[in-house]
Chain A
Amino acid sequence: EPEVTQTPSHQVTQMGQEVILRCVPISNHLYFYWYRQILGQKVEFLVSFYNNEISEKSEIFDDQFSVERPDGSNFTLKIRSTKLEDSAMYFCASSGSIGAGGYTFGSGTRLTVV
C-alpha cells in the first residue's frame, strides 16, 4: 500500500537553529500538507500546498516557517529559527484530490528543541 515517508524520524536541535523536515508524498498525489501535534494536544493544521504554491496556511505558520517542493518527489518544511515551543511531532500528509477520500499521513518527525 502506498505510503508517505518522512525523515528523519527524530531530530534534536538547539534553539535558534534552522531545521528542515523532509517528506516523500504518495507519487500520484497532488495536494500536500503539514500538520503538527504537540505532546498531549490535538493535531493542528499548518499549511497546504498545491501546484507549487501555498494554498492555505494557519495562524501558526508564520514567517519562521516555509515549505518547498524542490523536485518531483520531495516536500520539505523549514523552520528558520527554532523555538522551544516548536517541539512537537510534525506530520506530512498528501491527498489525490482536495477532500475526497482520506488524507494519507506519514509516521511523523519528532522535533525536540533544546
Chain B
Amino acid sequence: EDQVTQSPEALRLQEGESSSLNCSYTVSGLRGLFWYRQDPGKGPEFLFTLYSAGEEKEKERLKATLTKKESFLHITAPKPEDSATYLCAVRGTSGSRLTFGEGTQLTVNP
C-alpha cells in the first residue's frame, strides 16, 4: 500500500524567511510524485510532477526536489500570498490513483 507522510503539519514563516517542506513516501514503483497547493474550501491546484530521483522543478519561489525516499518543496523568500496547504501525492504502479499526504499548512506573515 502506498503511503505519504508530510512534515511539519504546520509552518509559520515571516515574509522573506525561506524554508522547506518534507514529503516522505513508500510506493510500489514510483510513477510520479505530485505537489499541489490547496486554499481553504478549494480544490488542489497542480504545482509539479517529479518522476525520478535527482529531478528538480521550479516555479517562481517554489522548487521541488526528489530522492528515492522523499521530496522537498523549498520556498524561497515567501510572501503572504504563498499561505496555503501544500499537498504531496504519489502514483505507483498499482494503477492511476493518487495517494495524498495530510498536507503542510503554511502561513506567511507580512
Contacts and interface: CB of A to CB of B under 8 A. Distances in A.
Interface of A: 4, 6, 31, 33, 35, 41-45, 48, 50, 55-56, 58, 89, 91, 93, 98-108, 110
Contact of B49 (A45, A102, A107): A102
Interface string B52-86: 00000000000000000000000000000000000
A96 B48 CA distance: 15
Contacts of B89: 43
Interface residues of B, number: 25
Nearest to B42: A107
Given A42-B102, A99-B32, A101-B49, A48 B44 contact: no
A48 B31 CA distance: 16
Given A42-B103, A99-B32, A56 B97 contact: yes
Interface of B: 31-32, 34, 36, 41-49, 87, 89, 91, 95-103
A110 B42 CA distance: 10
Contact of A105 (B44, B91, B97, B103): B44
Contacts of B43: 4, 6, 91, 93, 105-108
Contacts of A103: 34, 46, 98
Contact of B96 (A98, A106, A108): A98
Given A102-B48, A102-B49, A108-B43, 7 more contacts: A43-B44, A43-B100, A56-B97, A99-B32, A102-B36, A105-B43, A105-B45
A41 B42 CA distance: 14
B28 to A, nearest CB: 14
B100 A44 contact: yes
Contacts of A43: 44, 87, 89, 98, 100
B42 A99 contact: no
Top 4 closest A-B pairs, CB basis?
Answer: A102-B46, A105-B43, A45-B97, A43-B100
A35 to B, nearest CB: 8
20 contacts: A35-B98, A42-B100, A42-B102, A43-B44, A43-B87, A43-B98, A43-B100, A44-B100, A45-B98, A56-B96, A56-B97, A58-B97, A91-B44, A99-B31, A99-B91, A101-B49, A102-B47, A102-B49, A106-B43, A108-B42
